[in-house]
Amino acid sequence: MKILYYSPHPNLNLQDPTGYGTHMREMINAFRLLGHEVIPLIAGGTEKKGKKSKSNLFSLLKNNFKRSIPSIIWESFRDYSLLLFDRGLRDVLRKVIREIKPDLIYERGNYLQISGVEMAKELGVKHYLEINAPYVEERISFSGKSLLKRRAEIIERKQFLLSDKAFVVSSILKVYFVQKCKIDPQKIYVIPNAIDNHTIKINSVFEGVIRKKYGLSKQIVIGFVGSFFPYHGVDVLINAFSKIVSRYNDIHLLIIGDGEILDLLKKNAQDLGVENKITFTGNVDHADIYNYINIMDIAVMAKSNWYGSPVKIFEYGALGKAIIAPNVVPLRDVMVNKVDGILVNSTVYELERAIKTLIYDVELREKIGRTFQKKVLHEHNWEYMAKKILTQ
């Protein structure tokens, strides 16, 4: 089969070291591993971008202009620019479709993007839509209101109506779109995120270097990997850890990653008097992530949003780590409480209790780690998910 992989958003680059970049690369590679020809059409580019340098004067003028008008006007202008960009993609997409004659257009759908499904219908090509978030709601939550909200909701519904099949990452996201957009539930399929089994490589020598560097050789290591945003709950994890650290001499909290609130998290650790028992590694190369995860005895994700499918859970699981995760629907889609991990409400008290349970109960720690590891390696790899998409 010849598949045109289409991503119309101007800011999503195929080589970006982010969740969406990884997702696009892995889906394309998985389709190819299944023997299909895949032609990427990525509006944000397929080559790694260098850092753009903008003059201080440009930034100053932009920021002054932004501050001088109401937020809703600025956000509406941004949305209108996105609409114009998508409209301009129609001719590009039409030309590509006519040239390569794909059997399927697989689109990573996004906010205010309608060119893919409209061109597929115009030219009679089968179209599959992938939607990873409630983009209208997410857009408002992250950036503020826009005068084009109603327009965005119309486009959102049209994406689902015109596409032949749609794929979302969690069952609750399916329910959300079925109810909001009045879509036939049989048209929407749940395909959670996954990992690439082939990238799981452990370098025992490098792992030993890490342990020595951070003094973790004889410690029970509790860990987190990811970006630091307020909604990831790293502050909750630090607070829960501070409640129990005085009871154990052999525990350490390893926090891997970076983000906008890193300095606040470090100050939080200092204020709680536990900075000597917590290591912030900063960003590490993605190729080394599994070496860091393998050091952990207990792997934690303190919070998650209501709709997303966190890749880090599957990275933890692939190495057989005992996992503490939020008790939200997307996690319950893939994990059974006390079988695959411990699911908790994202409070300091519940997180503290779950950590203490796994420190005490080594047998439980090993059992839930092995159980979820088997599930992840067999059912949550990208090739398996790509096969499910094409055989639904």
Complete DSSP assignment for 122-153: HHT-EEEEEE-S-HHHHHHHHH---TTHHHHH
Per-residue pLDDT for the chain (392 aa), expressed as one digit of tens each?
Answer: 999 999 999 999 998 877 788 899 999 999 999 999 999 999 999 987 765 555 566 566 667 667 778 899 999 999 999 999 999 999 999 999 999 999 999 999 999 999 999 999 999 999 999 999 999 999 999 899 999 999 999 999 999 999 999 999 999 999 999 999 999 999 999 999 999 988 899 999 999 999 999 999 889 999 999 888 777 899 999 999 999 998 888 999 999 988 888 999 999 999 999 999 999 999 888 788 999 999 999 999 999 999 999 999 999 999 999 999 999 999 999 999 999 999 999 999 999 999 999 999 999 999 999 999 999 999 999 999 999 999 98
Residue 271 and residue 219 in one domain: yes
Residues 365 and 243 in one domain: yes
For the domain that residue 371 is a member of, what is the CATH number? 3.40.50.2000
- The answer to whether position 387 is within a domain reads no
User: Per the domain annotation, does 161 fall within a domain?
Assistant: yes
If you write DSSP's letter for every residue of 207-265 in order, what string do you get?
HHHHHHHHT-TTSEEEEEES-B-GGG-HHHHHHHHHHHGGG-SSEEEEEE--BTTHHHH
Q: Do residues 157 and 217 share a domain?
A: no
**What pLDDT, on a 0 to 100 scale, did the predictor assign at position 55?**
55
Q: Are residues 224 and 314 in the same domain?
A: yes
CB proximity list for 268: less than 8 A, separation 6 or greater? 235, 238, 239
Per the CB < 8 A criterion, the answer to whether 385 and 32 are in contact is no
Residues 85 and 138 in one domain: yes
Query: Which phi and psi (to 5°) does residue 269 adopt?
Result: -65, -40
Of 391, 370, 209, which is closest to residue 295 (Cα–Cα)?
209
Q: Are residues 21 and 164 in the same domain?
A: yes
386 assigned to some structural domain: no
Domain match, 175 and 294 both? no
> Based on the domain organization, do 313 and 214 belong to the same domain?
yes
Domain termination site, one of 191, 219, 250: 191
Q: Could you tell me if 226 and 355 lie in one domain?
A: yes
- pTM, two decimals, is 0.91
For residue 211, the one-letter residue type is R
> Tell me: the pLDDT tens digits for 37-72?
999 999 999 987 765 555 566 566 667 667 778 899
Please check whether residues 101 and 201 belong to one and the same domain. no
Q: How far apart are CA 266 and CA 257, in angstroms?
A: 13
> Does residue 391 lie in a domain region?
no
Q: How far apart are CA 219 and CA 253, in angstroms?
A: 10
**Tens of pLDDT, residues 203-237:** 999 999 999 999 998 899 999 998 887 778 999 99
Whether residues 132 and 185 fall in one domain: yes
Antiparallel, parallel or unpaired: β 220-225 and 298-300: parallel
Answer whether residue 392 is part of any domain: no
Residue 341 lies in a domain: yes
Q: Which residues contact 21 (CB under 8 A, 6 or more apart)?
A: 12, 13, 14, 15
- Domain range for 52: 2-191
Q: Are 169 and 307 in contact (CB under 8 A)?
A: yes
Domain boundary among the residues 191, 206, 239 is at 191
Q: Considering its fold, how many domains does the chain have in total?
A: 2
Does 94 share its domain with 204?
no
Residue after which a domain boundary falls, among 151, 172, 191: 191
pLDDT at 52: 54
Instruction: Give exposure, 56-95, as e/b (b: 16+ Cβ within 10 Å).
Output: eeeeeeeeeeeeeeeeeebbbbebeebbebbeebbeebee
